[in-house]
Amino acid sequence: MKPARHFTESHISLAHGNGGRMMRELIETVFVSHLQNHLLDTSADAAFLPISANAGDIMITTDGFTVEPLEFPGGTIGSLAVHGTVNDLAVSGATPKFLTLNAFIEEGLELALLDRVLASMAQACRDSGVRVVAGDTKVLRRGQGGGIYFATTGVGLRPFGLKLGLAQICPGDAVLVSGAVGNHGTAVLLARQQFGLSGHLLSDAASVLPITQALITLPGLRFMRDPTRGGLATVAHDMAKTTQTRIRLFETAIPVLEPVRAVCEILGYDPLYLACEGQVVAVLEPFAAADAISQLHRLGYKDAAIIGRVETGPAQVVLHTEIGGERLLQELEEDPLPRIC
């Protein structure tokens, strides 16, 4: 995609963040050309959100996004920022409605790259049914940023009376994952072409709203989380520590694609700690687990599976291994794959 018309510069300069003509042209000819909607008024200092007091509980989340490279198989930092914010709302049981966007752009960034990133962001907004209603732009000096950083705030509506959260989890509950784990972290690693590795694996970065909207219709749903930084293992540790229960995961039940498994075996990574950007970990009462899997399979999430259970015991995460043994999964101490989200 070519840069927006009437923008004559090919790269970002510090003047594009000075609040004057060049900044106005950047916003109007690049950002607005992709993200324009009837609620986005770049001349106003605040946005009006048409939310009825009787529409549901208002939910809000905020997030920041850095990734290297800025474009990777299956997405860009732009689509990642939308999906990441939308997904935090979705796993809370909310329907995402509005986003705000702060862009921190490094001096020297190629405008064509910024244009592609914003095009992917706009497409992700359309796919997720959300609108960017306000934002801000800053330009960092060359060498002080990673090309582009985004910070977002998301607002959504949750049905009255829906109670989800770690505090709802009980011993005996089933642990579900909506699909294969570790795809995003592995795809970003392959995109860097480090260690002499390359491949065609796509990131799973996507809106999880279809998944969460299906699950919240089920009685017995306790908790949902998208396993981003730290992956599935970190979500399990959050559950164990907060509820003071033992989380038992079954290695043979956890879906892992062969390219992910191969890269992890070569480099010594564990796919359970690698980021997913389009999956959901859910905890349900045992009677609801089979219905949940059936619903997700009907929606096309063929890898959805029951992968574990909540047990009475010390607050720890135990992996029941393929050969029938047990292994304690430790908490993540260092980020094995930095700048993935």
Both 153 and 200 in a single domain?
no
pLDDT confidence bin for 167, thresholds 50/70/90: very high
Task: Indicate whether 195 and 272 sit together in one domain.
Answer: yes
Lowest-confidence region among 4-8, 34-38, 211-215, 318-322: 4-8
For 311, the domain range is: 166-328
In a domain, 301, yes or no: yes
Residue 7 domain flag:
no
pLDDT for the residue numbered 192: 81
47 occurs within a structural domain: yes
Domain check: are 153 and 199 in the same one? no
As a whole number of angstroms, the distance between CA 247 and CA 187 comes to 28
* pLDDT, mean of residues 286-290: 95
Q: Which two tokens stand for residue 234?
A: 């970190």
Which tokens go with 100?
């705000």
Residues 92 and 172 in one domain: no
Let me know if residue 2 belongs to a domain.
Answer: no
pLDDT at position 4: 44
Which residue, of 158, 192, 221, is where some domain finishes? 158
- Going by C-alpha positions, the residue among 126, 135, 130 that lies closest to residue 155 is 130
Local confidence band at 1 (pLDDT 50, 70, 90 cut-offs) = very low
Domain boundary among 158, 175, 199: 158
Structure-token match 């770690």, residue found: 166
Mean pLDDT for 135-160 is 94
Q: What is the pLDDT of residue 2?
A: 45
Query: Do 71 and 178 reside in the same domain of the chain?
Result: no
Which of the four pLDDT bands, split at 50, 70 and 90, describes residue 336? low
Q: Are 177 and 305 in contact (CB under 8 A)?
A: yes
> Considering only 20-24, 74-78, 133-137, which range has the smallest mean pLDDT?
20-24
pLDDT on residue 135: 93
Last residue of a domain, one of 115, 132, 158: 158
The residue that leads in pLDDT, 57 or 2, is 57
> Which CATH number fits the domain that encloses residue 321?
3.90.650.10
User: Is 23 within the bounds of a domain?
Assistant: yes
Identify whether residues 229 and 277 lie together within a single domain.
yes
Q: Are residues 146 and 181 in the same domain?
A: no
pLDDT at 333 over 80: no
Nearest Cα to 337, choosing from 258, 294, 277? 277
pLDDT at 341 over 70: no
- pLDDT of 126 over the 90 cut: yes
Instruction: For residue 30, tell me if it sits in a domain.
Output: yes
pLDDT above 90 (res 197):
no
Has residue 340 been placed in a domain? no
On whether both 70 and 128 belong to a single domain, the answer is yes
* Cβ atoms of 256 and 271 closer than 8 Å: yes
Q: What percent of the chain has pLDDT over 90?
A: 72
64: CB partners within 8 A, 6+ apart:
149, 150, 151, 152
Reported for 165-169, long-range contacts at CB under 8 A and 24+ positions apart, including other chains, are: 165/222, 165/223, 166/223, 166/238, 166/239, 166/242, 166/243, 167/242, 167/243, 168/222, 168/223, 168/283, 169/222, 169/223, 169/239, 169/242, 169/243, 169/245, 169/283, 169/310
d(CA 159, CA 216): 10
Is residue 183 domain-shared with residue 302, that is, in the same domain? yes
Judge if 244 and 312 occupy the same domain. Answer: yes
User: Is the peptide bond between 171 and the residue preceding it cis, with omega within 30 degrees of 0?
Assistant: no
For residue 53, the domain's CATH number is 3.30.1330.10
- Shared domain for 197 and 217, answered yes or no, is yes
Q: How many domains does the chain have?
A: 2
Q: Are residues 151 and 173 in the same domain?
A: no
Q: What type of residue sits at position 333?
A: E
Q: Which residue has the higher pLDDT, 308 or 163?
A: 308
Q: Is the per-residue pLDDT at 284 higher than 80?
A: yes
Q: How many CA atoms lie within 13 A of 142 on its CB side?
A: 8
Is 286 within 8 Å of 175 (Cβ atoms)?
A: no
Residue 341 maps to a domain: no
Q: How high is the pLDDT of residue 6?
A: 56
